[in-house]
Amino acid sequence: MDEIVLKIDKQQLLKRGAESEIWLGTWLGLPAIFKIRIPKPYRHPILDRIIRERRTLSEARIMAEALEININVPTIYDIDLNEMMIIMEYIEGLTLKQILENNPQDGIKWAYQLGIIIGKLHKNGIMHGDLTTSNIIIKNNKLYLIDFGLAEKTTRLEDYGLDLHLLSRILDSNHHKIATSFLTEVLKGYTDIVGYETANLVKEKMREIRLRGRYIHERRLEK
């Protein structure tokens, strides 16, 4: 059997987003996620390839960096720059969104640890960019972060504030009852990692962003 055939054995489209398609399949017999960045017809074709290639590489690089600082992220199996595709480990578990919907008190237990993880990312100059409760997966009693598609290397406090702001918005809109207590625990864990001074500056940024009321999270189009 040809290895190439095994590698591109995508079976089921899980999600079609604004920027990419997520397929579930197998890679060398392992269950795997295939994330493919799709071309944009409005862009100059060469520029389109440049952008998709940069983002594919950047996403993979940031995931590798996250792994180095002991954050649980899917292991990357392969990168294909012809298809603009990242093949990675399939994390089969419950999303934090599912847990919070079914058993909020059980979900809250993860808040402090989530804060620690976000703190570690920011301390290492990484902004996740899309911290929704569906991008957090609990598997074997371990917390995983997925989808680094909008992640960036950044030192701007504004970007860190934006990360937490997005999370708090999602909590407010989807998990209203526990939003405040959940966020309080997240910020506790966060402060324990980045320290009081930075945490306060970032919290101030969160407040500014909220008052400006203009950062609206991009919901990927789910079809």
Partner 1 sequence: MSDPIIILGIESTAHTFGVGIATSDGQILANARDIYKPPTGGIHPRECAKHHALVASSVLKQALMQSKIRLDEIDAIAVALGPGLGPCLRVGATAARTLALLLNIPLIPVNHGIAHIEIAKLTANVEDPLVIFVSGGHTSIMAYMDGRYRVFGETLDVALGNFLDSLGEKLGFPFPGLINVEKMADSGKQILNLPYTVKGQDLSFSGLYTAALKALKNGAKIEDVCLSAVEYSYSMLCEVVERALAFLEKKSVVLTGGVARSNRLQNMLKIVASMHNATFHVVPDEYAGDNGAMIAWTGVLMYKSGITIPIDKSTVKPRWRIDEVDIPWMK
Contact residues for partner 1, defined by CB under 8 A: 18, 40-44, 46-47, 50-51, 54, 129, 152, 159, 162, 212-221
Closer to partner 1 by Cβ: residue 107 or 161: 161
CB 175 within 8 A of CB 100: yes
User: Residue 156 is encoded by which pair of tokens?
Assistant: 């701007």
Of the two residues 7 and 128, which places its CB atom closer to partner 1 in the complex?
A: 128
Please report how close the Cβ of residue 186 comes to partner 1 at its closest, in angstroms.
20
User: Which residue, 73 or 151, is less far from partner 1 as judged by CB?
Assistant: 151
Report the b/e string of 132-142 with b at 16+ CB within 10 A.
bbbbbbbeeee
SS3 of residue 107 by DSSP: helix
Shortest Å distance, C-beta 132 to partner 1: 13
134: tokens are 């569906």
Q: How far is the CB of 212 from partner 1 (least distance, A)?
A: 8
| Complex with partner 1: residue 47 or 64, whichever CB lies closer | 47
CB of 46 to partner 1, least distance (A): 4
Tell me if residue 192 is catalytic. no
Whose structure tokens read 């292991």?
75
> Strand runs (DSSP E) across 52-200, as ranges?
76-80, 85-89, 94-95, 126-127, 136-139, 142-145, 152-153
Q: Is 125 exposed, middle or buried (0-12, 13-18, 19+ CB in 10 A)?
A: middle
Single out the catalytic residue among 9, 106, 130, 192.
130
Catalytic residues: 130
